[in-house]
Amino acid sequence: MKKVKAIFALLMISTGTFAQSGTTAEAGLFDDPVLLFYITAGFLFVVALLVIAVALYMLQVLRYMAKDAAIARAKKLGIEYVEEPGWWTKFNLWVSDSVPVEKEETIMLDHNYDGIRELDNHLPPWWKWLLYGSIVWAVFYLIAYHVTNSLPLQTEEYNNEVAYAEEQVRKLKAENPGVVIDENTVILTTDAIALQDGKETFNNICASCHRVDGGGDIGPNLTDQYWIHGGSIQDVFKVVKNGVPNTNMVSWGGALSPEKMQNVSSYLLTLQGSNPPNAKAPEGDMYVPPAKKEVDSDTVKAQASL
Ligand code: HEC
């Protein structure tokens, strides 16, 4: 009885029952209910395994005793003891439907190729059922996917998933108005997918005036460091969004989403310094990105100290 009490007390301490009632605010290791659940479940699992192991062992002992009794009885009656095949042997026979080695002669074919002879064994039932099953499945598949079109094929499945994902994005954007892209929040993105999207937009609608390589035609050269309206991502975005009144550069704010405008602005800035042939002469003022300015002033300082 003393022992039981001690174990119980130990359990109480380990589950934090005492820790909670104590004055210290320190959390016990076992306060977490999930952890406690796992420990209890693990403990029960181990107990169950032990019970099963003992039960199997007892069963085996019982079988040996029964076998001994059967042998003794057979001896008494003066007959030979024949052991029943085990469940595994029976299962194997059923699943392969093969003729036992002892009866092989019954299925031997007449062919004799230099001593190599052939058995005409049954096809294994599991294999046959697999074949029948796949035939039934093929019929079902054909009807469901190609006749009634009641289930989606891969392309449709893919489109459904894309549509679902786009819907989620729309919802997320609607719920988080803080992430709206405008001339103040626009960033110079380096994301490959975004830049690819920007490139497509540029080639489709901007290239007619700025050329595919950005060298400039009706619109100015976008590959040099000279800008009429400034060369920062914010400046470029603003021009794309609002256009330039009384010029051919119209406002794209209505036709392109803010994200698309961010993408195309970021893309066209990747053309900086690409120096395409027959580019239009520079227009406007030189714009040096902030990072480069620092390098330049450092270079100047370094040169001055020489
Ligand atoms: C119909 C011809 C035309 C199309 C199409 C066009 N632009 Fe322009 N773009 C111009 C002209 C003209 C200017 C010069 C405006 C000015 O004189 O200030 C310009 C100016 C710009 C500037 C400012 C350049 C600077 O030096 O400050 C940017 C950036 C620009 N365009 C980007 C785009 C983008 C991006 C697109 C496609 C979404 C586009 N443009 C489509 C004609 C066009």
Residue 273 domain flag: yes
CATH number reported for the structural domain that contains residue 244 in this entry:
1.10.760.10
Residue 91 domain flag: no
Q: Does residue 233 sit in the same domain as residue 282?
A: yes
Nearest ligand 1 atom to the CA of 218 is 12
Best residue for ligand 1 mutational test, from 199, 202, 206, 217 (most atoms within 8 Å of Cβ): 206
Q: What is the model's pLDDT at position 139?
A: 97
Residue 132 domain flag: no
Residue 183 domain flag: no
Q: Does residue 201 sit in the same domain as residue 280?
A: yes
Q: What is the model's pLDDT at position 5?
A: 55
Q: Does residue 169 sit in the same domain as residue 252?
A: no
Ligand 1 center–CA 177 separation, angstroms: 29
In angstroms, the CA 11 to CA 9 distance is 5
Q: Does residue 261 sit in the same domain as residue 211?
A: yes
- Name residues contacting ligand 1 (CB within 6 A): 205-206, 208-210, 218-220, 222, 227-229, 236, 239-240, 244, 247-249, 252, 264, 268, 283-284
Residue 240 domain flag: yes
Q: Does residue 160 sit in the same domain as residue 199?
A: no
Residue 131 domain flag: no
Contacts of 96 (CB under 8 A, 6+ apart): 124, 125, 126
Residue given tokens 């230099």 in the structure block: 114
C-alpha angle 273/274/279, rounded to 5°?
100
Distances (CA, A) of 263 to 51, 194, 252, 259, 266: 66, 5, 13, 6, 5
Nearest ligand 1 atom to the CA of 265 is 35
Nearest ligand 1 atom to the CA of 268 is 35
Residue given tokens 């920062």 in the structure block: 232
Q: Does residue 207 sit in the same domain as residue 271?
A: yes
Nearest ligand 1 atom to the CA of 264 is 35
Q: Does residue 234 sit in the same domain as residue 201?
A: yes
Ligand 1 center–CA 12 separation, angstroms: 76
Q: Does residue 207 sit in the same domain as residue 162?
A: no
Q: Does residue 196 sit in the same domain as residue 172?
A: no
Total domains in the fold of the chain: 3
**Residue-by-residue pLDDT tens, the chain, 306 positions:** 455 455 544 454 444 444 444 444 455 666 778 888 999 999 999 999 999 999 999 999 999 999 999 999 999 988 888 877 888 888 888 888 878 788 888 888 888 889 898 888 888 888 999 999 999 999 999 999 999 989 999 999 999 999 999 999 888 877 876 567 888 889 999 889 999 999 999 999 999 999 999 999 999 999 999 999 999 999 999 999 999 999 999 999 989 999 999 999 999 999 999 999 999 999 999 998 876 555 455 554 554 554
Q: Residue 76 pairs with which residues in a beta bridge?
A: none
In angstroms, the CA 256 to CA 178 distance is 19
Best residue for ligand 1 mutational test, from 210, 250, 265, 271 (most atoms within 8 Å of Cβ): 210
In angstroms, the CA 225 to CA 282 distance is 8
Residue 105 domain flag: no
Q: Does residue 47 sit in the same domain as residue 10?
A: yes
Domain end point (choices 178, 212, 238): 178
Q: Does residue 199 sit in the same domain as residue 286?
A: yes
Q: Does residue 39 sit in the same domain as residue 67?
A: yes
Question: Whole domain around residue 209: which residue ranges?
Answer: 192-290
Residue 204: both structure tokens together: 């489709």
Q: What is the model's pLDDT at position 18?
A: 45
Residue 1 domain flag: yes
Distances (CA, A) of 23 to 14, 19, 227: 17, 8, 71
Nearest ligand 1 atom to the CA of 230 is 27
Q: Which residue lies with its CA nearest to atom 39 of ligand 1?
A: 206
Ligand 1 center–CA 191 separation, angstroms: 23
Nearest ligand 1 atom to the CA of 231 is 27
Q: What is the model's pLDDT at position 179?
A: 67
